[in-house]
Structure 1
Amino acid sequence: MDFTFSDDQLLFQDNVRAFFTNEVTPELIRELWNSESGRSDKLWAQLTELGLPALTVPEAFGGLGMDELDFVLLAQECGYAGLPEPLVDTVLVGVPLLSALGGEHDELKNRWLGRIAEGQARLAVGEPGNPLVADAHVADLLLLPHGDEVHALLPQAVRLTRNASLDPSRQLFRVDWTPSAATCVAAGEQGRLLWAASRNRGSLGTAAQLLGLAKRMVDLAVDYSFERKQFGKPVGSFQAVKHLMADVAVQIEFAKGPLYRAAYAVARGLTGQDAQVSHARLVCAEAALLAAKNAIQTHGAMGYTWEVDLQLFMKRAWALDKAWGDRPWHKTRIRQALYGGAIQPGAGNTF
């Protein structure tokens, strides 16, 4: 069996990485922190030129018709760059949720999916059980939960209250609105299944970003350790510092397998994907949090200062660790799958 990504997928990742390197700089992130919306219409237009918002939009609506496995490498690059724009939630959560609505809502899909692919509209998606919605202030359409129901609302139908985040790049809002039959687009078992799928996609996207963030923090720490000198030598030459980065590098490599397996399971609609997504989410979070801890140690006191770029990515990792289910929630899903018989333990069965 071939578990490698295709040449086209890897080439697309390289092109996106090159774009982010040139355009999504730490200087831009800091600039957006000080702007009113925290978002850049120019940057979203550039992302649209690359075809990124159209990736998971079905071809019938003017998109590229790709799936989660095609996007997981790009989601990693979004994490590595610390991309402020809500690209991952749009591509992995919002568009698939909207696309999966029943045929009675074809008019809604016709109205919005093509505009999203063209970069003329943005989505915001609420996470069930979480009162805060990311990027609700720039959304042209909001998809919000009410129990098992899915509601589609225009901005004028909601009232937003900003909620400060540890990561200034995270634009979070409490959304007050009134559910009605006119806004409900899915209910009952259909709504429950749609939100379950959205949780998995949101968790998958968060895991991929956390893995990218872990790699970025390691790279920043390595670069700094070779610039800073003690006793006439770069601190990176000392064994204790090498071990800190090696520990994170091992975590990153071990997290890749579960992440890509989870992306494959979600893209193919395989049974058992809940536990696989939670596994990926946990190991990627562990890698990112260890990267933050060890990178701070490598930087010393400088790592806590506003001027050093490390804090941009460290804060993003801490904030994303609570998005789309925290670690106890994901551990519970794995425990239930293991003790419920959905996972058969043993070297011949587990990954």
Structure 2
Amino acid sequence: MRFFPDAEQREFARSLDALLTSGDTPAAVRSWGEGDHGPGRALWAGLAEAGVFALAVPREHEGFGPLPVELTVAFEVLGRHAVPGPLVETVAAAALLDRLGDADTAAARLPAIASGKSLASLCVTSFGPYALDGDVADAVFVVDGDTLRVAAGPGPVLPSADPARRLSRPSGGAVVARGPAVTAAATYAADVAALATAAQALGVGRTLLARTVAHVTRRTQFGVAIGSFQAVKHRLADTLLALEFTEPLVHSAALALAAGDAGAGQEVAAAKVTAGEAAYRAARTALQLHGAVGYTDELDLSLWIRKARPLRDAWGTPAACRARVLAG
């Protein structure tokens, strides 16, 4: 079984990387955290044109998917560039609506998600009571037990460790569906969300490592680059090994989810916990090896450092993911 992207998928990743490199993504992240969504929405428009959101939408609703493997390829790139917004929640909402079995709701919602015209957020209360970026989402879907509703309002924005991850507690709203179909669809959507989050965390970790390597080759102490110190080399090597070990797990989980394997949920959980821990290790390494400058908001590095911990815990904490793996 092949656990790494093929030539077409690698070219897709390169095209997304070029698209995001040409824009001022750090500025968009900072604006998003301040409540100005214009630059971030411009990034989303480019991603939609490249087909990122269509990967989660079936062909009968103007999408290309569902294609979990291609989603992981895309979300790793999005993590590398720290793209703001409810990216994971939008594709998870698409997965939920696709699996729900309500043809009218799917026809009304999914084409707009595929085209990027509609941003969605998803709150599954078993994972926590908060929705990401509910204040900018065109629809906030809430799953509480076996009930799906569209929230009446996002609620006030709450402080977050990552200013660009704007959390709110949705309330009220009209019921869309009830019953076992909602529970089953929400379980699948949560797996899609966990997988996309794992890929995003992997991308965040890659950028943190790359920026740290660049820093230690420039920063000198006692007349030599600090990257030549054995302790620094060991720290970077451990971080690299953690990220390298993560990548095949993420792609293996995507293949299992695409094939509908019975153990796909456990594979997703294993990938999620491994990616989250690897990104968190990369963040700690970056912070410590950058020294005092690593603590400053002015340094763009902070945009990635602040994402690592929230991504580690989103859509399945390490403890919850480990428990699911052991239960399988």
Counterpart amino acid of 1:144? Answer: V
Aligned to 2:20: 20
CA root-mean-square deviation: 1.8
Aligned residues of 1:128 and 1:195 also touching (Cα < 8 A): no
Q: Cα distance, 1:39 vs. partner?
A: 6.4
Matched residue, 1:347: none
Question: Within 2, Cα distance between the matches of 1:40 and 1:334?
Answer: 36
Match for 1:197 among 188, 192, 208?
Answer: 188
The residue aligned with 2:249 is: 258
User: Unaligned stretches of 5+ in structure 1?
Assistant: 338-351
Offset at residue 85 of structure 1 (A):
2.5
The answer to whether the aligner puts 1:242 opposite 2:233 as a matched pair is: yes
Cα distance in 2 for residues equivalent to 1:20 and 1:202: 22
Q: Does the residue aligned with 1:308 lie in a helix, a strand or coil?
A: coil
Comparing 72-81 with 18-27, which one deviates more in the overlay? 18-27
Contact 2:140 2:154 in 1 (8 A): no
Structure 2 unaligned residues grouped into runs of 5+:
none
Aligned equivalent of 2:57:
57
The equivalent position to 1:283 in structure 2, one of 274, 290, 300, is 274
Structure-1 residue corresponding to 2:67: 67
Corresponding residue of 2:146: 148
| 8 Å Cα contact 1:82-1:313 kept in structure 2 | yes
Aligned to 2:118: 121
The separation in 2 between residues aligned to 1:125 and 1:119, in whole angstroms, is 16
How big is each residue's C-alpha offset from its partner over 1:179-233, in whole Å with a ceiling of 9 and x where there is no partner? x5xx232x33212211111221111111111111111111111111112111121
* Local SS of the residue matching 1:142: strand
1:64-120 deviations in Å (ceiling 9; x for gaps): 2241111111111111111103223222x1111111122xx3222222211222222
Contact 1:207 1:259 in 2 (8 A): yes
CA gap 1:2/1:331 in 2 versus in 1, 3 angstroms = closer
Q: Which residue of 2 aligns with 1:137?
A: 135
The one-character-per-residue Cα deviations of 1:279-302 (angstroms, maximum 9, x if unpaired) are: 111111121111111112211121
CA contact (8 A) 1:38 1:171 kept: no
Q: Distance in 1 between matches of 2:300 and 2:133?
A: 23
Asked if structure 2 preserves the Cα contact closer than 8 Å seen for 1:214 and 1:291, the reply is yes
Residues 29 and 169 in structure 1, CA contact (< 8 A), matched pair in contact too: yes
Q: Is the 8 A contact 1:279 1:334 kept in 2?
A: yes
State which of 154, 176, 182 in structure 2 corresponds to 1:184.
Answer: 176
> Could you tell me whether the CA contact under 8 Å between 1:292 and 1:314 is conserved in 2?
yes
- Structure 1 310/126 Cα, relative in aligned 2: closer, same or farther at 3 Å? same
**How far does residue 38 in structure 1 lie from its aligned partner after superposition?**
8.0
Mark the CA change 1:331 to 1:3 in structure 2 (over 3 Å): closer, same or farther: closer
Larger Rg: 1
User: 2:31–2:39: 8 Å Cα contact kept in structure 1?
Assistant: no
Distance 1:238 1:159, change over 3 A: closer
Pairing 1:95–2:119 present: no
Letter in 2 for 1:42: A
Q: How far apart are residue 159 of structure 1 and its match?
A: 5.1
Q: Deviations over 1:23-54 (max 9, x none)?
A: 25323322333344586332222222222222
Range 264-273 or range 134-143, more displaced:
134-143
Instruction: Compare the two structures and name the one with the higher helix fraction.
Output: 2
